[in-house]
């Protein structure tokens, strides 16, 4: 979706709302393509003292396989994003990942919102941020409870234990 911003480019405090959907079903994260549902984006572009600021809320539900515990999972995610839109870059150094160039006063929302979504996703796809993963000895999924394996003894305590036994 191309959003024409010619109406607000010269008018401070004016804004244009938008609402769109993205199909990111072919984007791979980790070992799978978890964005099987549409990503909805609701937001606006506002001329703030001459600078065009895009703000949006991206929401979807991921259906993936956890990179850490290998369980399949369904997890809603939402990202608040903000980006700067500009008609020209004054110099290359000013270009950062959250600055997007307009073409003919139009914002390419698909490109901007897709980039923002990817930047907000973690490089590892986890069923939840604090996934405990699998026990490296017995393979039990530790999210379902502790396993019977004893935790690795602290080598310093082992030395202490040996000293006490010698006495």
Rounded Cα distance between 140 and 148, Å, is 9
Segment contacting Zn ion by CB under 5 A, of 48-56, 106-114, 139-147, 152-160:
139-147
Q: Does 39 bind Zn ion (CB under 5 A)?
A: no
Residue count (the chain): 167
Among 16, 45, 52, 68, binds Zn ion (CB under 5 A): 68
Here the tokens at position 47 are 């001329």
Rounded Cα distance between 118 and 125, Å, is 12
Rounded Cα distance between 99 and 107, Å, is 11
Q: Does 62 bind Zn ion (CB under 5 A)?
A: no
Segment contacting Zn ion by CB under 5 A, of 3-11, 100-108, 116-124, 135-143:
135-143
Cα separations (Å) of 129 from 8, 59, 165? 40, 17, 43
Closest CA to 116 of 16, 13, 4, 27: 27
Segment contacting Zn ion by CB under 5 A, of 4-12, 65-73, 75-83, 153-161:
65-73
Residues from 70 through 129 that contact Zn ion (CB under 5 A): 127
Give the DSSP letter of residue 26: T
User: Of the two residues 16 and 131, which places its CB atom closer to Zn ion in the complex?
Assistant: 131
Among 8, 41, 66, 109, binds Zn ion (CB under 5 A): 66
By CB under 5 A, name the binding residues for Zn ion: 66, 68-69, 127, 131, 135, 137-138, 147, 149
């Amino acid at each position: 979706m191309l959003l024409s911003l010619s109406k607000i480019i010269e008018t401070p405090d004016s804004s244009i709302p938008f609402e769109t959907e993205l199909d990111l079903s072919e984007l791979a994260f980790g070992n799978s393509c978890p964005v099987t549902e549409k990503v909805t984006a609701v937001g606006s572009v506002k001329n703030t003292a001459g600078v065009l600021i895009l703000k949006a809320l991206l929401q979807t539900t991921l259906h993936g396989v956890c990179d850490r515990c290998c369980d399949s999972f369904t997890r809603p995610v939402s990202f608040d994003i903000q980006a700067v839109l500009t008609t020209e870059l004054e110099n290359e150094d000013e270009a950062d990942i959250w600055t997007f160039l307009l073409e003919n006063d139009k914002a390419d929302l698909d490109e901007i919102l897709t980039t923002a979504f990817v930047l907000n996703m973690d490089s590892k796809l986890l069923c939840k941020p604090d996934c405990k993963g699998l026990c490296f000895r017995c393979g039990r999924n530790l999210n379902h409870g502790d396993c019977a394996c004893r935790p690795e003894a602290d080598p310093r305590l082992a030395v202490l234990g040996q000293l006490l036994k010698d006495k």
